[in-house]
Amino acid sequence: MQQIIKSKDITQDLEKAVKNMHHDRLFILVDENTNSLCYPILDSSETLAKAQRIVIPAGDTHKTLETMAAIWKQLTENGATRHSLLINLGGGMITDMGGFAAATFKRGIACINVPTTLLGAVDAAVGGKTGINFDGYKNEIGAFYSAKLVFLSSAFFNTLSKTEILSGYAEMIKHSLIHSQTDWDKLLAFSFDAIDYEMLNELSFRSVSIKQRIVEKDPYEKDIRKALNLGHTVSHAFESFAIEKNSPVPHGYAVAWGLIAELYLSYRLCDFPKEKLQKTVSFVQKHYGAFPVSCDNYETLYEIMTHDKKNENSAINFTLLSDIGNVKINQNVEKKMIFEALDFYRDSVGL
């Protein structure tokens, strides 16, 4: 079982964990941003400072097979074996790629995730999904492979921009929607004007706990883990479309926009309460702006959705809600209704 550790001293806690895990060589995967902004927090540790660093370009546009090959190459050239240990220090792109590198190098080496973004902490670092983008599709190639340990530390959160915090917060909203009214109410009441980072860390740990309980019940997404896909069929289409246009958007923002469309589908098809739909839409409107799509883009977005990994045969599968905490997985939705949901999204964000 993946262990989640809420750390108060990330350097000390990580050093202790590394010393307790048998390994012959230690590697730390970072991107250019986390190398300059986050790695210095750790290099006061003699153990961690001796690790071989692998530095890759930052940004989702580099979440590619070419970058993955470069990681494999550096592991090989620096003598990594099946008994080596890889620390993934960064946001979701790093934990996704580092996890996939660990899953595939020598048929599997141990890894530790140290997410440095809120999005990475509540989403990519936990649950064992790893992968890369391929042929224009998000996370098209990957594997289920859990890090042995995941460290959550607010030491990194106060270095984040408001955009980066909001990106992670959208996944937290999703977790609350699939879990409980109480969690949803707390998250919608949080103030971004004067951020309380300790409270944010507590809320994020709660969010991770919700996800972890679901993953433990269904690690390979055969059943209830599909609840975590709420908002993601539309959001992945938005993301892939944005990458195709060479204007990538933050994952969490796409999730927020996707929630608008998929909660509308929940309202139309599963009787999700209208007032809760409107309250969530208002929150997204206030904080996330809009992803510009027009009616002319609907066919392209629909085509992207047909490649979604949740689909069965030719049907597009959604996770919907009949109420907060009442999840309806494997909901097949017709093309006409999907276009109606995209219309609602555009109207809601003022396009």
Strands laid side by side in the 52-56 sheet: 3-6, 149-152, 110-115, 85-90, 26-31, 52-56
Helix (H), strand (E) at residue 18: helix 10-20
* Residues whose CB falls within 8 Å of the CB of residue 303, separated by 6 or more in sequence, listed in order: none
Confidence at residue 313, expressed as pLDDT on a 0 to 100 scale: 66
Q: Alpha carbon of 99 to those of 143, 165, 201, 214: distances in Å?
A: 8, 23, 23, 20
Mean pLDDT of all residues in 218-239 = 94
Q: How many residues does the chain have?
A: 351
Mean pLDDT of all residues in 141-145 = 95
* Residues whose CB falls within 8 Å of the CB of residue 76, separated by 6 or more in sequence, listed in order: none
Check pLDDT > 90 for residue 124: no
Confidence at residue 154, expressed as pLDDT on a 0 to 100 scale: 83
Q: How far apart are CA 290 and CA 284, in angstroms?
A: 9
- Superfamily for 162-349? Dehydroquinate synthase-like - alpha domain (1.20.1090.10)
Q: How far apart are CA 329 and CA 229, in angstroms?
A: 9
Mean pLDDT of all residues in 278-283 = 97
For 288, the token pair is: 């996330």
Check pLDDT > 90 for residue 138: no
Reported as half-sphere exposure (CB side, CA atoms, 13 A), residue 191 has a value of 4
Confidence at residue 1, expressed as pLDDT on a 0 to 100 scale: 65
Check pLDDT > 80 for residue 298: yes
CATH 3.40.50.1970 residue window(s) in the chain: 3-159
* Residues whose CB falls within 8 Å of the CB of residue 341, separated by 6 or more in sequence, listed in order: 234, 261, 262, 264, 265, 268
Q: How far apart are CA 240 and CA 248, in angstroms?
A: 8
Q: Indicate the pairing of strand 85-90 with strand 110-115.
A: parallel
Q: Indicate the pairing of strand 326-332 with strand 317-323.
A: antiparallel
Q: How far apart are CA 25 and CA 85, in angstroms?
A: 6
User: For 144-166, how does the pLDDT look when each residue is reduced to its tens digit (9 = 90+)?
Assistant: 999 999 999 888 888 889 999 99
pTM of the model: 0.86
Q: Count of CB atoms within 10 A of residue 232's CB?
A: 25
Q: How far apart are CA 15 and CA 207, in angstroms?
A: 26
Contact 113, 88 (CB under 8 A): yes
Determine whether domain 3-159 maps to CATH 3.40.50.1970.
Answer: yes
User: For 15-66, how does the pLDDT look when each residue is reduced to its tens digit (9 = 90+)?
Assistant: 999 999 999 999 999 999 999 999 998 878 889 989 999 999 998 889 999 9
Confidence at residue 268, expressed as pLDDT on a 0 to 100 scale: 98
pLDDT band at 106 (very low <50, low <70, confident <90, very high): very high
CATH 1.20.1090.10 residue window(s) in the chain: 162-349
Confidence at residue 351, expressed as pLDDT on a 0 to 100 scale: 86
The single-letter code of the amino acid at 285 is Q
Q: How far apart are CA 262 and CA 11, in angstroms?
A: 40
Please provide the average confidence, as pLDDT, over all residues in the chain. 94
How would you label 126-140 residue by residue, b for 16+ Cβ within 10 Å and e otherwise? bbbbbbbbeeebbbe
